Structure 1
């Protein structure tokens, strides 16, 4: 039995390819956000229509961190306090004032103050993924060529990569898959948000990266036999299984960790509520915030499916027709106009090139 569990886990993570590896071109720059046409900026449909809502959603027993007793929350936090705390600059990188107002020089100086992190970021931006005409030697050059949002997102991802280490090759494979999913999801968010005139400063893209914190923590700490038994990422069944085994789903575990780290409450809520957009009706949430959360959740789910190989080609995938219950409330939250725009963008060759480079390259 002791030899069977690692074998099962290995086969589970290797059952599908990570994604295309023969994409010829580097990703094109993310387009600037543009005003949303009137036909696109429509009012979301009702997400809790019991006549059309899938039964799996109507009956889903969503559990939030706030639903736990204090003792239960502290016990969960104790389990995850073995995860190293990130450097202090994480709070500043996520601060809305900093994201909205920081200059290229301020961002470069902030990252350069952490030499190890700066080296990792420079290695990432000099990789074939970005297709730069010549190597860059400083964070300031990277920001100048790639833009503030792209460099900030790379920095956020490498902060988390540095926090989750393992000597177990099977767990490492699972972590790598999660890192790849977060990279794909953030790339999708930046590009699709630009098409809808959303997120000009990259706040949502940062929240999507942050929404993977709980997934990384569970993969890094859960016993291997329990990890092997979980359904695929991004599914309702996965959240239900995490709640049964751990007491909370991964996104709510991420909420606990972010709060324990002292991150701003608005940042924590934006990241942790991304999964909630697919699980439950968010009553009282403003239409534009619901649309943002729905877009972030859609990109996170697609990133996970691309990373596992479950989804091979977005151009052949029908966003408007996919019957999975995970997409039901997201379609309603975005509304038909925005959904039609997204369906067109998902077929664009430039997007396929960008995602293919991420899927094929190192995390």
Structure 2
């Protein structure tokens, strides 16, 4: 890059002079020589949306790259698109799936092949980074669609490339991004501050230089260069604030979900301006996350990405938020200007709801943090109780405030008027004062002069109200504090949504999806705990193995759907005939296992015979459906004795008894004996 080119770049960047010079100093090559953006990708980015030409032009660009065309066809023919027949040409793919889907698939492949390098033992894990890029791209596009942005595809590309500066530094830096991450591990600075210290410029600034040099579309350049700090009003990129805010918000959500750009803790800040630009009340975050999770699941096949399960997400999330909270607290305590505590501490308060996925834990922590950092006398979480038709105190801080005169604290729906009614209807925060005539009666009833009410939303649905007042000290409340608290309450809503999703996901991880019975892991954990019990408990347990007779015949003759239905029938019978204290589950294939407590051999044998007989009876009723094939089961039973030193030994005994039942003619129950 010559001096004239550098000057032009600096003017376009809208940054102080010297950024392009800093980029030249930190890189091994001139930016104009970095072959990170394939020519085909630039052509795809610049394609017009004109209905008459875009399909033809798209096909032409992809088909000039045979390897790319083959990969795109493999993608569109995958299970993710569920097409009725195989597609053999790019033109056919565009006609079937549309311009957007095919261009997105092509861009994914082009950038992946050019940007991502599989290097082992590097701090900057590029597959982990690519997973982050895909998540941000997918979330950004979903948000853009929800907000009716005119070009969601362009925003998807911005999300895919938003951190390209990190790849530039990793691949071409005199010191790599891996070197930086190793050093960052020992730093108390924020991500952007430590990058500036280490490289002399941030990854967003190197991204700006790169995009400008390679003439990427201005909107994409803005998203890459400003997703950590919104462009100033005099910047040529200020016109793209909406697009940049979407990327910034999606990037933050990715980190909150444990899908950051690196495995080390490099957390972004959620800028207040982003929440002013994006009305998150219009976003159904639960549906957005479900959509992105489905898209991420489809990427595994092509990239070998092992997307973290809910337990891994939870562990990463807790680790990240605790570390950020420590950094936030340290920053707050180090401040010497005595500024507004609420503003100074928002960064750490935002992480509080995500330290746990149990509302009974994170709600009290959040209320304590709000009360401490904003200096309120009292903070209360009011839940909406349909049965009592009112707002009822569910959690509060300090803990002592509702033990006596204010217990229970509730506001009947019939008394909700004025500003509080506006808060509930329009989902907007309000400061309610005694000079508001419509609210005076309610204020008198709860014995306060004023209070703050912040709607707490989950799935864009009102689930509660965060209440705060200064009734003990009498300090006046300032309406500007509503804006300062809004990000915190939004995070509380997200935390409540995550808690619900985690509860559902945890249940799903314990339940066999076909039969809705417990799975093998839960059965083993249950028995492991049971074998830690006192001898008097162990002597009263029995384990039974159930195997569907000639199950292969159902699949071969009647079809796999019939085989699935047989398993559901057996599961339904087991569920209907088992006591609450006992346990039943699918152990694998056509095998089921039950664990009975407080029983003896006669009781266990009676239960097993009832199960066997009911399955046989049900099978006869439904015999025509299964081509007159009999539905029966063989059951092996093991009753506890001191000879069983572990639960696997008892399962093995029941399994042996079940096979004895099979060999003895099927459709019977056999109790394990040592001489079998």
Bin the TM-score by the shorter chain: 0.5 to 0.7
Unaligned runs of at least 5 residues, structure 2? 1-12, 262-266, 304-676
1:353 is displaced (CA, Å) by: 4.5
The alpha carbon displacement at 1:340 in A equals 0.3
Does structure 2 conserve the Cα–Cα contact (< 8 Å) formed by 1:307 and 1:359? no
With structure 2 as the length reference, what TM-score do the two structures score?
Answer: 0.36
Partner residue, 2:249: 298
Alpha-carbon distance change, 240 to 121 in structure 1, aligned in 2, over 3 angstroms: farther
What's the Cα RMSD here?
A: 3.7
Scaled by the length of structure 1, the TM-score of the pair is 0.64
Q: CA shift at 1:330, angstroms?
A: 1.3
SS where residue 67 of structure 1 aligns? coil
Contact 2:118 2:127 in 1 (8 A): no
Provide the rounded CA distance (Å) in 2 between the counterparts of 1:172 and 1:110.
36
Contact 1:100–1:201 (8 Å) recurs in 2: no
Matched with 1:329 is 273
- Listed as ranges, the matches of 1:147-162 within 5 Å are 147-162=98-113
Q: Work out the CA distance in 2 between the residues paired with 1:123 and 1:173.
A: 29
Structure 1 stretch displaced more, 190-199 or 115-124: 115-124
* Separation (CA, whole Å) in 2 of partners of 1:327 and 1:349: 21
Q: CA deviation at 1:241?
A: 1.9
Which residue of 233, 247, 262 maps to 2:200? 247
Deviates more, 1:144-153 or 1:108-117: 144-153
- SS at structure 2 position matched to 1:202: helix
The SS at the match of 2:100 is: helix
- Separation of aligned partners in 1, 2:164 and 2:59: 24
Corresponding residue for residue 257 of structure 1: 210
Distance in 2 of aligned mates of 1:269 and 1:164: 17
8 A contact 1:183–1:209 mirrored in 2? yes
- Asked if structure 1 preserves the Cα contact closer than 8 Å seen for 2:139 and 2:288, the reply is no
1:1-363 superposed matches below 5 A: 66-68=16-18, 71-79=21-29, 83-95=34-46, 98-99=48-49, 102-166=53-117, 168-171=119-122, 174-200=125-151, 202-221=153-172, 222=176, 224-230=178-184, 237-264=190-217, 266-267=218-219, 269-275=221-227, 278-280=228-230, 282-284=232-234, 289-306=240-257, 308=259, 325-334=269-278, 338-342=279-283, 344-347=284-287, 350-351=290-291, 353-358=293-298, 360-363=300-303
> Alpha-carbon deviation of 1:339?
1.2
Question: Any idea what the Cα deviations from partners look like across 1:12-49, whole Å, max 9, x if unmatched?
Answer: xxxxxxxxxxxxxxxxxxxxxxxxxxxxxxxxxxxxxx
Q: Greater RCO between the two (CA within 8 Å, min separation 6)?
A: 1
How far apart are residue 69 of structure 1 and its match? 5.9
Q: Which runs of 4+ in 1 moved over 6 A?
A: 285-288
Tell me, yes or no, if the aligned pair for 2:116 and 2:130 is still in contact at 8 Å: no
Q: How far is the alpha carbon of 1:281 from its aligned partner?
A: 6.1
Q: What are the superposed Cα offsets for residues 262-317 of structure 1, whole Å, 9 maximum, x if unpaired?
A: 435x2553333441xx424632579973222211221233345546379xxxxxxx
Contact residue 122 and residue 139 of structure 1 kept, 8 A: yes
Q: Quote the Cα distance in structure 1 between the aligned partners of 2:30 and 2:86.
A: 38
> Which sections of structure 1, spanning at least 5 residues, go unmatched?
1-62, 311-322
Q: Which has the larger radius of gyration?
A: 2
After TM superposition, give the deviation of residue 106 of structure 1 in Å: 1.6
Q: Distance in 2 between matches of 1:106 and 1:289?
A: 27
SS at match of 1:184: helix
Give the structure 1 partner of residue 595 of structure 2: none
Contact 1:105 1:140 in 2 (8 A): yes
Aligned length: 279
Instruction: Give the structure 2 partner of residue 320 of structure 1.
Output: none
Contact 2:134 2:160 in 1 (8 A): yes
Give how far 1:260 is off: 2.8
Shift of 1:65: 5.9
| Cα distance change, pair 171–159 in 1 and its aligned pair in 2 (3 A) | farther
Aligned-partner Cα distance in 1 for 2:211–2:260: 29
- Structure with greater helix percent: 1
Distance (whole Å) between structure 2 residues aligned to residue 282 and residue 112 of structure 1: 41
